[in-house]
């Protein structure tokens, strides 16, 4: 039996789901935790089932596309070799060295918006700008790329919402060209490994050879698309939550030591990443549902991290909740290697935001606009800030 023979359990493109995908996935987790649909294949909503997938990469393969994706689109042993190259770029020494730059970027951006207005649409005026500036600084890319990447991100998000595959293909080519030009520039200038992170990647070896251009380009594309999308979504979610929950905002302003754990908890309740895909390599049973080899399986992070059987009062943010079961950064061999960078960036941004504001809350008579599949978070977060004067 293949997916065309499988009874569909739900319609993820129905108006009920698209109106509030978080609530819809909560319902699916309880009604049909492993559910089939024509458009997404198998969707997995329960924490326990997601853990089973993450801990069994042999059955649930990450090689889901014909396009090279280093290393997140690979399985062992290939994944293991490339992962060993990637991880040191997010080690403690690099994070400590980058932290002052990150703080300077956050402070400068907040000063810019504070100078001309207090009513701010967070996603377009703060979150995306921060994510793009940070990513360019981390990779050693020029500031001249800020605006092109911001425009690219906006176009990409719109094409994703519209499921415009033709535009998405064009945008993918545009980003590939940007990355290829950056690599070629360093080749022509005989860049040394310590010049910047991009140049450093060009001097890395896999086995007995250097990474080739396609591999370097894949790594940089994955980092850029993933980092900009998730960091901007995370900033929007964090600010929206604290604007809507002034007691939490006050608590964190009074005790910033709670911020790291609180950030993870807020993003557990509203995950900035929608889902990740796997493909079955053999027949398998998941929560009593038989799944054939070669089937698409979507890990729904939003639902899994709101599972009541794992998290007491799962829909409620508890700032000091134990985060050991939190799947914000995944688990298993594909746990996000960039988690230290993401955590540092969000912590620094929130520290600077608190330092430069007295208070912030939602703008009167306006509401945040939730994102829709395959994105998460919000497409618009209108906030009124009271800046320090």
pLDDT tier at 153 (50, 70, 90 boundaries)?
confident
- As a whole-number percent, the residues of the chain with pLDDT over 90 amount to 87
* Own/partner long-range contacts of 112-115 (Cβ < 8 Å, ≥24 apart): 113/385, 114/356, 114/385, 114/387
pLDDT at residue number 1: 38
Quick check: helix, strand or coil at residue 192?
coil
pTM of the model: 0.95
Instruction: Over range 143-162, report the average pLDDT.
Output: 88
What H or E segment, with its residue span, contains residue 355? helix 339-356
Which residues contact residue 343 at a Cβ distance below 8 angstroms, ignoring those fewer than 6 apart? 260, 263, 264
Check: CB of residue 299 under 8 Å from CB of residue 275.
Answer: yes
Domain map (residue ranges) of the chain: 3-387
Rounded Cα–Cα distance for residues 173 and 176 (Å) = 5
Helix, strand, coil percent content, the chain, rounded in steps of 5: 55, 15, 35
Q: What is the pLDDT of residues 102-137, one digit of tens each?
A: 999 999 999 999 987 799 999 999 999 999 999 999
Q: What CA–CA distance (Å, rounded) separates 305 from 20?
A: 16
Taking alpha carbons only, the member of 161, 162, 227 closest to residue 375 is 161
The answer on pLDDT for 351 being more than 60 is yes
Once rounded to an integer, what is the mean pLDDT over residues 170-196?
Answer: 93
Question: What pLDDT was estimated at residue 172?
Answer: 87
Can you give the pLDDT at residue 95? 97
Q: What CATH number belongs to 3-387?
A: 1.10.630.10
Asked if pLDDT for residue 4 goes beyond 70, the answer is no
Q: How far is CA 155 from CA 97, 172, 371, in A?
A: 33, 11, 15
**Most distant pair of Cα atoms in the chain: their distance:** 67
**C-alpha R_g of the chain:** 21
358 Cα distance to chain centroid: 29
pLDDT in tens, 319-346: 999 999 999 999 999 999 999 999 999 9
**Looking at the predicted structure, is the pLDDT value of residue 31 above 50?**
yes
Q: What is the pLDDT of residue 5?
A: 55
């Amino acid at each position: 039996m293949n997916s065309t023979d499988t009874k569909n359990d739900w319609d993820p493109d129905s108006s009920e789901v698209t109106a509030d995908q978080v609530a819809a996935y909560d319902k699916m987790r309880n009604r049909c935790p492993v559910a089939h649909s024509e458009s997404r294949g198998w969707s997995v909503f329960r924490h326990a089932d997601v853990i089973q997938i993450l801990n069994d990469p042999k059955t649930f393969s990450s090689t889901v596309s014909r396009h090279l994706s280093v290393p997140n689109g690979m399985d062992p042993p290939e994944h293991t070799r490339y992962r060993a190259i990637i991880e040191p770029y997010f080690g403690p020494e690099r994070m400590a060295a980058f932290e002052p730059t990150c703080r300077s970027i956050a402070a400068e951006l907040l000063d810019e918006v504070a100078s001309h207005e207090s009513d701010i649409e967070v996603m377009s005026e703060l979150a995306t700008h921060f994510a793009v500036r940070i990513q360019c600084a981390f990779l050693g890319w020029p500031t001249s790329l800020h605006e092109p990447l911001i425009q690219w991100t906006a176009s990409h998000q719109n094409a994703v919402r519209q499921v415009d595959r033709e535009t998405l293909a064009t945008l993918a080519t545009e980003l590939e060209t940007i990355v290829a030009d950056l690599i070629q520039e360093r080749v022509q200038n005989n860049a040394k490994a310590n010049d910047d992170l991009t140049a450093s990647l060009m001097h890395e070896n896999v086995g007995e050879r250097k990474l080739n251009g396609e591999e370097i380009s894949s790594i940089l594309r994955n980092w850029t698309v993933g980092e900009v999308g998730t960091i901007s979504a995370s900033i929007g979610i964090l600010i929206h939550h604290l604007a809507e929950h002034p007691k939490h905002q006050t608590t964190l302003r009074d005790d910033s030591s709670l911020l790291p754990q609180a950030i993870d908890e807020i993003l557990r309740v509203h995950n900035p990443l929608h889902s990740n895909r796997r493909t079955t390599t053999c027949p398998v049973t998941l929560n009593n549902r038989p799944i054939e080899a070669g089937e698409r399986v979507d890990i729904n992070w939003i639902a899994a991290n709101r599972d009541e059987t794992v998290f007491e009062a799962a829909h409620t943010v508890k700032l000091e909740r134990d985060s050991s079961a939190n799947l914000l950064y995944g688990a298993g061999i594909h746990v996000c290697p960039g988690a230290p960078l993401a955590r540092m960036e969000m912590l620094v941004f929130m520290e600077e935001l608190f330092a430069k504001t007295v208070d912030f809350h939602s703008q009167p008579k306006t509401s945040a606009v939730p994102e829709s599949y395959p994105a998460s978070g919000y497409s618009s977060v209108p906030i009124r800030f009271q800046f320090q004067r």
